[in-house]
Chain A
């Protein structure tokens, strides 16, 4: 049972963690993230990195779709822009990763800004189609602008480096990706307790009222597009450093759908939901693969039977979520927490 504190000052009341219990759990989480790579085997490390990248990109898309109410199927395209920017810069300029990642984010933000331009006029499915078109167009550029992108062959790159330290192994990459993911989520958390974030939510909930309060819709929608794409660009840049090869097929259209699904499964407009959604979407397919492997000794033709089934099971899981928990994983998490808060008194 946790007892609420009386809030002494507005500063304390407006803080992210208003109770010591919350601070405690956040410290535990950070500690866990720190210890994890020391205990994890290479496979788990690899998964940890993938989840980290997915968290950054999903948080970005959540800002746009979950909080500002603008559907986008361009996320993979924006990640591609970031990945190619990093690949090109590190090969041609040798700049260290803080700069290449920043530029990757900015480049993606600029592209996102342009893609967002129709958003004043079109909404919902039409916007989805417009961003889809942008995504196809970006894919075309990745494949055809050979002098820069290397065409279908793509680009390969050296590992990330800074001050002579290189990030070659998954272990090292983990310490690049996860802190950035934590920062990305914290920054988004800050955003939604200040003026700009509130304006995004206002636009999502009721754009007429937003205008009457002096919020110019186009400027804020473009800001949301740019910020969301910035996140995608950084995630894409990390993706490039992680795999050290970038091809047009690294960022297929299904990847955009993957991120949209992560936002929806996690819980739209909920940052924690975005994290859970990203983890769910990354880990469940892996878990299904492991399940297949575990079944093989008993049913020798399990792989033959299971591999086409994986996608179907995965899809069914997502649909099941949408039906039984439309508010996503975040809602399930909230119920679990509530149970423990009230625990000895009510269950």
Chain B
């Protein structure tokens, strides 16, 4: 069963066609990865799914229902969580507060309860704190930084906190935009392990954009290749790797960065 289906989506900014007739299936309980050179439209596709961009054509179906016209907060409430390519944490807040914000949609305390902080409001805060500690902070091994403001943390840890915040939403589908970009090898291995565990133990479907071919080929069940806004190939890692169009897309353009990534997938990030 497909938890998310994208049908013939087209999106353009002025003359730039960011997405053209893109169709994609995300089977439930898989790790589905979108790859493609810089500027291929991967992040734009995520933004369409989140509801930030309005595609001119096509439709997105989530759990059998169309998402058209729903604002981003509504989509979040339905179980779509994501992280951003350039980390979008609340930098002044502590790690703990950032993660608690992830639980926002599952909490009920209203304005009056918040002001009084008594009875149900207080119990709810405690329950969330307890759950965040037990299920997320321990799991992602970030106990030692829970009180620190996010702005002071190294990049790799910030990425982990952003993942923690998305997990606190208890999503059905978790969208990760370049989860290991800029990480060293050890951090990448940790992240890959977390992603696999999230799929296995939490039963969350993962939709990921990633440039690191080593990791993509290792952990993906299903891969779609985007080039100039079009899907040029789809399938399991083995099939996609051998596809001549894919090789051409990566070798045939002058994008040095993606070429280098392709040729040397396990390169440590500078």
Indicate whether A205 reaches chain B with its CB closer than 8 angstroms.
yes
Instruction: Find out whether the CB atom of B90 lies under 8 angstroms from the CB atom of A194.
Output: no
Q: Which residues from 183 to 217 on chain A have a C-beta closer than 8 Å to any C-beta of chain B? A: 187-188, 190-191, 193-199, 201-202, 205-206, 208-217
State A191–B118 Cα separation when bound (angstroms). 11
Of B84, B104, B133, which is within 8 A of A215 by CB? B104
Instruction: Find out whether the CB atom of B117 lies under 8 angstroms from the CB atom of A205.
Output: no
> A343 to nearest B CB, angstroms?
23
Interface string of B90-115 (1 = CB under 8 A from A): 11110001001110110101110111
Instruction: Find out whether the CB atom of A191 lies under 8 angstroms from the CB atom of B115.
Output: yes
State A187–B101 Cα separation when bound (angstroms). 20
Q: Summarize A's interface: helix, strand, loop or mixed.
A: helix
Q: How large is the interface on B (under 10, 10 to 19, 20 to 34, 35 or more residues)?
A: 35 or more
- Take A194-B117, A198-B97, A205-B93 as given contacts and tell me if A215 and B130 are in contact as well, using a CB distance cutoff of 8 Å: no
Instruction: Find out whether the CB atom of A187 lies under 8 angstroms from the CB atom of B165.
Output: no
Which A residues touch B113, using CB under 8 A?
Answer: 194
Instruction: Find out whether the CB atom of B71 lies under 8 angstroms from the CB atom of A211.
Output: yes
Interface string of B109-152 (1 = CB under 8 A from A): 11101111100010011100110010000000000000000000
Of A208, A215, A227, which is within 8 A of B111 by CB? A227
Instruction: Find out whether the CB atom of B73 lies under 8 angstroms from the CB atom of A202.
Output: no
Instruction: Find out whether the CB atom of A206 lies under 8 angstroms from the CB atom of B109.
Output: no
In chain A, what residue has the closest Cβ to B128?
A195
In chain B, what residue has the closest Cβ to A209?
B88
Of A10, A191, A197, A212, which is within 8 A of B133 by CB? A10
Tell which of B91, B104, B115 has the most Cβ of chain A within 10 Å: B115
In chain A, what residue has the closest Cβ to B162?
A209
Instruction: Find out whether the CB atom of B111 lies under 8 angstroms from the CB atom of A196.
Output: yes
State A211–B100 Cα separation when bound (angstroms). 15
Tell which of B52, B90, B121 has the most Cβ of chain A within 10 Å: B90
Of A14, A194, A208, A215, which is within 8 A of B109 by CB? A194
Instruction: Find out whether the CB atom of B105 lies under 8 angstroms from the CB atom of A214.
Output: yes
Instruction: Find out whether the CB atom of A197 lies under 8 angstroms from the CB atom of B93.
Output: no
Indicate whether A223 reaches chain B with its CB closer than 8 angstroms.
yes
Instruction: Find out whether the CB atom of B117 lies under 8 angstroms from the CB atom of A190.
Output: yes
State A201–B117 Cα separation when bound (angstroms). 18
Instruction: Find out whether the CB atom of A202 lies under 8 angstroms from the CB atom of B90.
Output: yes
> A109 to nearest B CB, angstroms?
10
Instruction: Find out whether the CB atom of A187 lies under 8 angstroms from the CB atom of B116.
Output: yes
> A213 to nearest B CB, angstroms?
5
State A193–B94 Cα separation when bound (angstroms). 12
State A190–B111 Cα separation when bound (angstroms). 11
State A210–B90 Cα separation when bound (angstroms). 9
Indicate whether B237 reaches chain A with its CB closer than 8 angstroms.
no
Instruction: Find out whether the CB atom of A198 lies under 8 angstroms from the CB atom of B104.
Output: yes
Instruction: Find out whether the CB atom of A194 lies under 8 angstroms from the CB atom of B125.
Output: yes
Of B77, B89, B97, which is within 8 A of A214 by CB? B77
Indicate whether B76 reaches chain A with its CB closer than 8 angstroms.
yes
Instruction: Find out whether the CB atom of B125 lies under 8 angstroms from the CB atom of A208.
Output: no
> A121 to nearest B CB, angstroms?
15
> B79 to nearest A CB, angstroms?
10
Instruction: Find out whether the CB atom of B109 lies under 8 angstroms from the CB atom of A196.
Output: yes
- Take A212-B50, A212-B76, A214-B73 as given contacts and tell me if A194 and B121 are in contact as well, using a CB distance cutoff of 8 Å: yes
Instruction: Find out whether the CB atom of A213 lies under 8 angstroms from the CB atom of B76.
Output: yes
Of B72, B114, B129, B130, which is within 8 A of A212 by CB? B72
In chain A, what residue has the closest Cβ to B168?
A213
Instruction: Find out whether the CB atom of A190 lies under 8 angstroms from the CB atom of B73.
Output: no
> B94 to nearest A CB, angstroms?
11
State A11–B82 Cα separation when bound (angstroms). 30
Of A13, A195, A216, which is within 8 A of B73 by CB? A216
State A148–B104 Cα separation when bound (angstroms). 43
Of A13, A195, A213, which is within 8 A of B114 by CB? A195
> A147 to nearest B CB, angstroms?
34
Indicate whether B26 reaches chain A with its CB closer than 8 angstroms.
no
Indicate whether B191 reaches chain A with its CB closer than 8 angstroms.
no
> B209 to nearest A CB, angstroms?
15
Which B residues touch A196, using CB under 8 A?
Answer: 109-111, 114
Which B residues touch A217, using CB under 8 A?
Answer: 73
State A208–B46 Cα separation when bound (angstroms). 14
Of B82, B109, B130, B133, which is within 8 A of A195 by CB? B109
> A203 to nearest B CB, angstroms?
10
Q: Which residues from 40 to 60 on chain B have a C-beta closer than 8 Å to any C-beta of chain A? A: 50, 52
Indicate whether B4 reaches chain A with its CB closer than 8 angstroms.
no
- Take A196-B111, A198-B97 as given contacts and tell me if A208 and B121 are in contact as well, using a CB distance cutoff of 8 Å: no
> A19 to nearest B CB, angstroms?
14
Instruction: Find out whether the CB atom of A223 lies under 8 angstroms from the CB atom of B101.
Output: no
User: Can you name 25 A-B pairs with beta carbons within 8 Å?
Assistant: A10-B126, A10-B130, A11-B126, A14-B125, A194-B125, A195-B100, A195-B109, A195-B124, A197-B114, A198-B93, A198-B101, A198-B104, A199-B101, A205-B90, A205-B93, A206-B88, A208-B88, A209-B89, A211-B52, A212-B50, A212-B76, A213-B101, A214-B104, A214-B169, A216-B73
Q: Which 3 A-B pairs have the closest CB atoms?
A: A214-B76, A190-B117, A214-B105
With A201-B93, A213-B104 known, 13 other A-B pairs at CB within 8 A are A10-B133, A187-B115, A193-B125, A194-B117, A195-B100, A198-B104, A205-B92, A209-B88, A212-B50, A213-B165, A213-B169, A214-B73, A216-B73
